[in-house]
Homo-oligomer: A and B are copies of this chain.
Amino acid sequence: MIRVFSIDVNTQKRVELVNITRRINEKISEARVRDGVVVVFTRHTTSALIINEDEERLKRDILVLMDRLVPTGAGYRHDEIDNNADAHLRQNLMQPSLTVPIVNGRMALGTWQNVFLFELDGPRTREVTVVLIGE
């Protein structure tokens, strides 16, 4: 059985981590999938999806890391066209899609794992596609 859903995520800042775990699990409940996988996909080139602990200081550390590895406005050629090269580049160090097992009707996440949309060039409304494959 395959079901496709769409989730809109309204972000509030230029760079921000938004926990979307609950919203994905709601789609799994709605579709009554018991076992399988969920594919989560962000339809944008300036956002990413990651899994990590939902802890405030760690979330700040992730933003600082991205700032250090891919500083804003560091002479990128793409900034001549659209002032967001940092966002395009940062998402390539993470990923646009995540695949998570579904067991007993929920994502089989570990104790500390949460799924985040990583907004890298907001605030915007982001469209996240959720595909459920299961039985």
Give me the interface of A with B, judged by CB distance under 8 Å.
Answer: 2, 4, 35-37, 39, 41-45, 50-53, 55, 57-58, 60-62, 65, 69-70, 76-78, 80-81, 85, 88-89, 91-101, 103, 108-110, 112-113, 127, 129, 131, 133-135
Contacts and interface: CB of A to CB of B under 8 A. Distances in A.
- Report whether over half of chain A's contact residues are helix, strand or loop; otherwise say mixed: mixed
Contacts of A80: 57
Interface centre among A50, A70, A110, A113 (most CB of B within 10 A): A110
Work out how many copies of this chain go into the complex: 3
Nearest to A90: B65
A4 B107 CA distance: 13
Nearest to A131: B101
5 contacts: A2-B133, A62-B88, A62-B89, A101-B131, A103-B129
A135 B57 contact: no
A74 to B, nearest CB: 9
A34 B77 CA distance: 38
Nearest to A89: B65
Contacts of A78: 55, 57-58, 61
